[in-house]
Structure 1
Amino acid sequence: MNMHTRRLSKVEPDIRDEIGILFIVGDPQIDIKNTKLRQMDVNARSLVPLAGLKPSWTDLDINQHVSHVKYLDWVFQSLPRSDVEKNELSSMILEFRRECRIGDNLQSFCEVARSDGTLSQFTDKNGIEFDHLLLHEDGSTILRGKTMWKAR
Protein backbone atom coordinates (compact mmCIF):
# COMPACT_ATOMS: atom_id res chain seq x y z
CA MET A 1 0.00 0.00 0.00
CA ASN A 2 1.23 3.46 -0.85
CA MET A 3 1.03 5.20 2.54
CA HIS A 4 0.90 8.70 1.01
CA THR A 5 -1.98 8.13 -1.41
CA ARG A 6 -3.66 5.42 0.75
CA ARG A 7 -4.08 3.32 -2.42
CA LEU A 8 -3.01 -0.23 -3.14
CA SER A 9 0.22 -0.52 -5.08
CA LYS A 10 1.04 -2.97 -7.82
CA VAL A 11 2.96 -6.03 -6.61
CA GLU A 12 6.17 -6.68 -8.51
CA PRO A 13 6.33 -10.06 -10.34
CA ASP A 14 9.33 -11.35 -8.35
CA ILE A 15 7.56 -10.63 -5.05
CA ARG A 16 4.33 -12.20 -6.34
CA ASP A 17 6.27 -15.36 -7.30
CA GLU A 18 7.85 -15.50 -3.86
CA ILE A 19 4.58 -15.23 -1.91
CA GLY A 20 2.42 -17.08 -4.45
CA ILE A 21 2.73 -20.36 -2.57
CA LEU A 22 0.79 -18.79 0.31
CA PHE A 23 -2.33 -18.16 -1.77
CA ILE A 24 -5.20 -20.62 -1.75
CA VAL A 25 -6.67 -21.30 -5.15
CA GLY A 26 -10.37 -22.12 -5.14
CA ASP A 27 -13.87 -20.82 -4.80
CA PRO A 28 -14.71 -18.38 -1.99
CA GLN A 29 -16.27 -19.91 1.12
CA ILE A 30 -18.58 -16.95 1.67
CA ASP A 31 -22.09 -16.98 0.25
CA ILE A 32 -22.37 -13.48 -1.19
CA LYS A 33 -25.93 -12.45 -1.97
CA ASN A 34 -26.37 -9.51 -4.29
CA THR A 35 -28.47 -7.66 -1.75
CA LYS A 36 -29.04 -4.00 -2.42
CA LEU A 37 -28.66 -1.95 0.73
CA ARG A 38 -31.43 0.57 1.20
CA GLN A 39 -30.69 4.29 1.37
CA MET A 40 -31.61 5.70 4.78
CA ASP A 41 -33.06 9.17 5.21
CA VAL A 42 -31.08 10.63 8.13
CA ASN A 43 -33.56 13.48 8.43
CA ALA A 44 -36.48 11.15 9.20
CA ARG A 45 -38.02 11.70 12.62
CA SER A 46 -37.78 8.01 13.48
CA LEU A 47 -33.98 8.06 13.31
CA VAL A 48 -32.09 9.21 16.37
CA PRO A 49 -28.34 9.42 15.78
CA LEU A 50 -25.85 7.96 18.19
CA ALA A 51 -23.42 10.88 18.02
CA GLY A 52 -20.01 11.61 19.46
CA LEU A 53 -18.29 8.51 18.17
CA LYS A 54 -14.56 9.05 17.72
CA PRO A 55 -11.81 6.61 16.83
CA SER A 56 -8.87 6.56 19.23
CA TRP A 57 -5.35 5.15 18.96
CA THR A 58 -6.47 1.81 20.39
CA ASP A 59 -8.98 1.44 17.53
CA LEU A 60 -6.30 1.48 14.80
CA ASP A 61 -4.69 -1.51 13.13
CA ILE A 62 -1.07 -1.74 11.98
CA ASN A 63 -1.89 0.21 8.77
CA GLN A 64 -3.37 3.12 10.78
CA HIS A 65 -6.91 2.17 9.68
CA VAL A 66 -9.79 1.90 12.11
CA SER A 67 -10.26 -1.79 12.84
CA HIS A 68 -13.34 -3.48 11.37
CA VAL A 69 -14.18 -4.63 14.90
CA LYS A 70 -14.60 -1.00 15.97
CA TYR A 71 -16.97 -0.33 13.06
CA LEU A 72 -19.07 -3.30 14.25
CA ASP A 73 -19.02 -1.93 17.79
CA TRP A 74 -20.42 1.41 16.56
CA VAL A 75 -23.10 -0.38 14.50
CA PHE A 76 -24.17 -2.55 17.45
CA GLN A 77 -24.27 0.41 19.87
CA SER A 78 -27.11 1.93 17.86
CA LEU A 79 -29.34 -1.17 18.05
CA PRO A 80 -32.35 -1.15 20.39
CA ARG A 81 -31.23 -3.09 23.46
CA SER A 82 -34.58 -4.90 23.86
CA ASP A 83 -34.29 -6.40 20.36
CA VAL A 84 -30.70 -7.49 20.91
CA GLU A 85 -31.62 -9.23 24.16
CA LYS A 86 -34.50 -11.17 22.56
CA ASN A 87 -32.67 -12.16 19.37
CA GLU A 88 -29.31 -13.44 18.19
CA LEU A 89 -27.34 -12.28 15.18
CA SER A 90 -27.96 -14.50 12.18
CA SER A 91 -26.07 -12.68 9.44
CA MET A 92 -24.86 -9.28 8.34
CA ILE A 93 -23.94 -7.39 5.22
CA LEU A 94 -21.51 -4.48 5.50
CA GLU A 95 -20.48 -2.09 2.77
CA PHE A 96 -17.44 0.02 3.64
CA ARG A 97 -17.58 3.24 1.62
CA ARG A 98 -14.58 5.17 2.94
CA GLU A 99 -12.16 5.08 5.83
CA CYS A 100 -12.27 7.28 8.86
CA ARG A 101 -9.25 8.52 10.75
CA ILE A 102 -8.32 9.30 14.28
CA GLY A 103 -10.12 12.39 15.57
CA ASP A 104 -13.06 12.14 13.12
CA ASN A 105 -16.55 12.64 14.56
CA LEU A 106 -19.08 10.01 13.50
CA GLN A 107 -22.79 9.31 13.88
CA SER A 108 -24.40 5.87 13.86
CA PHE A 109 -28.00 5.34 12.70
CA CYS A 110 -30.17 2.24 12.95
CA GLU A 111 -33.66 1.57 11.58
CA VAL A 112 -35.92 -1.46 11.46
CA ALA A 113 -36.06 -2.61 7.82
CA ARG A 114 -39.57 -2.26 6.41
CA SER A 115 -41.26 -3.44 3.23
CA ASP A 116 -44.86 -2.67 2.28
CA GLY A 117 -45.47 -1.11 5.67
CA THR A 118 -44.62 -4.30 7.60
CA LEU A 119 -41.50 -5.61 9.27
CA SER A 120 -39.16 -7.38 6.92
CA GLN A 121 -39.31 -10.89 8.37
CA PHE A 122 -37.35 -14.11 7.85
CA THR A 123 -39.04 -17.11 6.30
CA ASP A 124 -39.63 -18.64 9.75
CA LYS A 125 -41.42 -15.41 10.82
CA ASN A 126 -39.26 -15.11 13.94
CA GLY A 127 -36.54 -12.73 12.79
CA ILE A 128 -36.02 -9.04 12.29
CA GLU A 129 -33.70 -6.97 10.10
CA PHE A 130 -32.05 -3.64 10.79
CA ASP A 131 -30.50 -1.19 8.35
CA HIS A 132 -27.40 0.65 9.54
CA LEU A 133 -25.60 3.81 8.50
CA LEU A 134 -22.36 5.29 9.84
CA LEU A 135 -21.81 8.91 8.78
CA HIS A 136 -18.84 11.22 8.98
CA GLU A 137 -19.43 14.69 10.44
CA ASP A 138 -19.25 16.16 6.92
CA GLY A 139 -22.22 13.97 5.89
CA SER A 140 -20.28 11.43 3.84
CA THR A 141 -21.08 7.75 4.28
CA ILE A 142 -18.47 5.64 6.06
CA LEU A 143 -20.45 2.39 6.20
CA ARG A 144 -23.85 1.02 5.22
CA GLY A 145 -25.11 -2.31 6.41
CA LYS A 146 -27.89 -4.69 7.28
CA THR A 147 -28.07 -7.08 10.22
CA MET A 148 -30.45 -10.03 10.35
CA TRP A 149 -31.51 -11.38 13.74
CA LYS A 150 -33.43 -14.52 14.65
CA ALA A 151 -35.34 -15.29 17.83
CA ARG A 152 -33.40 -17.07 20.58
Structure 2
Amino acid sequence: MNHHVNYVTYIGWVLESMPQETIDTHELASITLDYRRECLQDDVVDSLTSIEPTDGAETVSKLTGTNGSAVARKDDADCPMFLHLLRVSCDEQEINRGRTEWRKKHAR
Protein backbone atom coordinates (compact mmCIF):
# COMPACT_ATOMS: atom_id res chain seq x y z
CA MET A 1 0.00 0.00 0.00
CA ASN A 2 2.82 2.45 0.91
CA HIS A 3 5.14 0.92 -1.75
CA HIS A 4 7.53 -0.26 0.99
CA VAL A 5 9.23 -3.63 0.81
CA ASN A 6 7.92 -6.29 3.22
CA TYR A 7 10.42 -7.47 5.85
CA VAL A 8 10.28 -11.04 4.47
CA THR A 9 11.74 -9.70 1.21
CA TYR A 10 14.84 -8.52 3.10
CA ILE A 11 15.40 -12.04 4.40
CA GLY A 12 15.14 -13.41 0.88
CA TRP A 13 17.68 -10.90 -0.42
CA VAL A 14 20.11 -11.80 2.39
CA LEU A 15 19.79 -15.51 1.62
CA GLU A 16 20.17 -14.96 -2.15
CA SER A 17 23.76 -13.85 -1.69
CA MET A 18 24.78 -16.86 0.41
CA PRO A 19 27.41 -19.18 -1.07
CA GLN A 20 25.73 -22.17 -2.71
CA GLU A 21 28.21 -24.51 -1.00
CA THR A 22 26.87 -23.40 2.39
CA ILE A 23 23.22 -23.69 1.31
CA ASP A 24 23.87 -27.25 0.07
CA THR A 25 25.58 -28.53 3.23
CA HIS A 26 24.17 -26.38 6.05
CA GLU A 27 20.88 -25.14 7.43
CA LEU A 28 20.11 -21.73 8.85
CA ALA A 29 20.44 -21.78 12.64
CA SER A 30 19.81 -18.08 13.36
CA ILE A 31 19.39 -14.76 11.64
CA THR A 32 19.67 -11.26 13.08
CA LEU A 33 18.69 -8.22 11.02
CA ASP A 34 19.16 -4.56 11.86
CA TYR A 35 17.01 -2.30 9.71
CA ARG A 36 18.62 1.07 8.91
CA ARG A 37 16.17 2.66 6.47
CA GLU A 38 13.15 1.76 4.40
CA CYS A 39 13.39 0.32 0.94
CA LEU A 40 10.86 1.13 -1.76
CA GLN A 41 9.58 -1.28 -4.39
CA ASP A 42 11.43 0.48 -7.24
CA ASP A 43 14.84 0.49 -5.48
CA VAL A 44 17.60 -1.69 -6.94
CA VAL A 45 19.32 -3.43 -4.03
CA ASP A 46 22.84 -4.85 -3.65
CA SER A 47 23.08 -7.87 -1.36
CA LEU A 48 26.60 -8.33 0.04
CA THR A 49 27.70 -11.33 2.07
CA SER A 50 31.02 -12.11 3.72
CA ILE A 51 32.21 -14.79 6.12
CA GLU A 52 32.39 -13.36 9.63
CA PRO A 53 36.05 -13.00 10.65
CA THR A 54 37.05 -14.75 13.85
CA ASP A 55 39.47 -12.01 14.86
CA GLY A 56 36.95 -9.14 14.64
CA ALA A 57 39.12 -7.25 12.15
CA GLU A 58 36.51 -6.76 9.44
CA THR A 59 33.25 -4.91 9.91
CA VAL A 60 30.04 -5.21 7.95
CA SER A 61 30.61 -1.81 6.35
CA LYS A 62 33.73 -3.20 4.64
CA LEU A 63 32.01 -6.19 3.01
CA THR A 64 33.34 -6.97 -0.43
CA GLY A 65 31.84 -10.39 -1.18
CA THR A 66 28.61 -10.37 -3.14
CA ASN A 67 26.18 -12.69 -4.90
CA GLY A 68 27.42 -15.85 -3.22
CA SER A 69 31.13 -15.19 -3.59
CA ALA A 70 32.00 -15.55 0.10
CA VAL A 71 33.33 -19.00 0.97
CA ALA A 72 33.74 -20.40 4.47
CA ARG A 73 37.24 -21.17 5.69
CA LYS A 74 38.14 -24.76 6.58
CA ASP A 75 38.12 -24.05 10.34
CA ASP A 76 34.62 -22.55 10.09
CA ALA A 77 33.14 -25.38 8.00
CA ASP A 78 30.94 -26.89 10.73
CA CYS A 79 29.19 -23.71 11.93
CA PRO A 80 30.01 -20.79 9.65
CA MET A 81 28.75 -17.30 10.42
CA PHE A 82 28.18 -14.63 7.79
CA LEU A 83 27.76 -10.87 7.79
CA HIS A 84 25.27 -9.29 5.41
CA LEU A 85 24.68 -5.83 4.03
CA LEU A 86 21.76 -4.67 1.89
CA ARG A 87 22.18 -1.29 0.25
CA VAL A 88 20.53 0.81 -2.42
CA SER A 89 22.53 0.25 -5.59
CA CYS A 90 22.52 3.79 -6.99
CA ASP A 91 23.70 5.70 -3.90
CA GLU A 92 24.94 2.87 -1.65
CA GLN A 93 22.70 3.94 1.24
CA GLU A 94 22.58 1.20 3.84
CA ILE A 95 19.19 -0.49 4.15
CA ASN A 96 19.92 -3.42 6.42
CA ARG A 97 22.78 -5.17 8.23
CA GLY A 98 22.55 -8.75 9.31
CA ARG A 99 24.27 -11.82 10.63
CA THR A 100 23.47 -15.47 9.98
CA GLU A 101 24.71 -18.61 11.70
CA TRP A 102 24.58 -21.98 9.98
CA ARG A 103 24.88 -25.57 11.20
CA LYS A 104 25.69 -28.77 9.31
CA LYS A 105 22.62 -30.54 7.90
CA HIS A 106 21.84 -33.81 9.63
CA ALA A 107 22.27 -36.95 7.54
CA ARG A 108 18.93 -38.43 6.52
Does residue 1:147 correspond to 2:86, yes or no?
no
Mapping of 1:115-130 within 5 angstroms?
A: 115-116=54-55, 126-130=78-82
Gaps of 5+ in 1: 1-61
Which residue of structure 1 aligns with residue 62 of structure 2? Answer: none
1:46-89: CA deviations, max 9, x gaps? xxxxxxxxxxxxxxxx4432111111111111000111110010
Deviation of 1:93 after TM superposition, in Å, equals 0.6
Deviation of 1:102 after TM superposition, in Å, equals 2.0
Which residue of structure 1 aligns with residue 4 of structure 2? Answer: 65
Gaps of 5+ in 2: 58-71
**Which residue of the other structure, out of 31, 38, 55, is the alignment partner of 1:99?**
38
CA RMSD of the aligned region, Å? 2.2
TM-score, reference length from structure 2: 0.72
Q: Which runs of 4+ in 1 moved over 6 A?
A: none
Q: Report % sequence identity.
A: 34
Equivalent pairs, count: 88
Give 1 or 2 for the bigger CA radius of gyration. Answer: 1
Q: Name the aligned partner's letter for residue 150 of structure 1.
A: R
Which residue of structure 1 aligns with residue 85 of structure 2? Answer: 133
